[in-house]
Amino acid sequence: MKFIAIIPARYASTRFPGKPLAMLGGKPVIERVYEQVAGVLDDAVVATDDERIYDAVRAFGGRVEMTSPDHRSGTDRCREAYDRLGAEYDVVVNVQGDEPFIQASQLETVKRCFDDPATDIATLVKPFTEADGLAALENPNSPKVVLDAQSRAIYFSRSVIPYLRGVPREEWLARHTFYKHIGLYAFRADVLRAVTALPQSTLEKAESLEQLRWLENGYKIGVGISEVETIGIDTPEDLEKAEAFLIK
């Protein structure tokens, strides 16, 4: 199977404008993301709506496609970039442009999900640990995932799922394995085209999680389990943490 990474990168981030071009260890964040995936998958391309990002990617020798500024999500931007490439791949991997520490092992885990021919879409989770604490588990900005016996996603939620009836909340992490969603998606190419044509669903609107649209429409989401902790960059403060992590 042939895999391509598409890295959506917007300039106009609400919490951190210009984030893809912020410097991390002497290189733009987007260059570090590109380097992490380019050697693992068959191809990689950045999908952007901004000429400054386009020029920066060209400057470090990366592939890049200009896309519309009007997309609702990175998934929609990936679909346009994929169509513009004019080449066929079996699987399109959507790697967020603010994940400079995405690991080869995580990409390989996602790839293995497609060994199952029933997998339409694949993603990653990481088990919460007791050391993470209850506040991390209850953080609505960190979606949780429930899996079935075949390691497919049953549901994603900003709430803590499942609810442990009769167990004090402070004991939940010791009594059950909860899974934190890692926002990396891979799609069979025909599925990417199909899901981006679907209207927003009821559950998607309720939780503001686009993956619920795919589940509501019957798509099978395979889930790989990763023990790797990465640092995403959403704010300037996150960039400072990433600098410290890079040095360490």
Residue-wise pLDDT for 202-235, tens only, equals 999 999 999 999 999 999 999 999 998 777 888 8
Banded pLDDT at 39 (limits 50, 70, 90): confident
> 51-59 and 29-38 are packed helices; what angle lies between their axes, rounded to 10 degrees?
50
Q: What is the CATH number of domain 3-125+181-247?
A: 3.90.550.10
Task: Decide: 223 and 204 in contact? Cβ < 8 Å.
Answer: no
What amino acid is encoded at 145 in this protein? Answer: V
60-66 contact pairs (CB < 8 A, 24+): 60/27, 60/28, 60/31, 60/34, 62/31, 62/34, 62/38
Task: Decide: 99 and 184 in contact? Cβ < 8 Å.
Answer: yes
> Which of 81-90, 199-208, 239-248 has the lowest average pLDDT?
239-248
Task: Decide: 225 and 125 in contact? Cβ < 8 Å.
Answer: yes
Count of CB atoms situated within 10 Å of the CB of 208: 10
On the question of pLDDT at 92 being above 90, the answer is: yes
Q: Which residue has the tokens 């199952």?
A: 116
DSSP 66: E
Residue 71 structure tokens: 């997309």
Residue 85 structure tokens: 């490439």
Banded pLDDT at 105 (limits 50, 70, 90): very high
Percent of the chain with pLDDT over 70: 100
pTM of the complete model: 0.93
Q: Where are the domains of the chain?
A: 3-125+181-247
* pLDDT of the residue at 156: 98
**How many Å apart are CA 101 and CA 228, to the nearest integer?**
10
Banded pLDDT at 248 (limits 50, 70, 90): confident
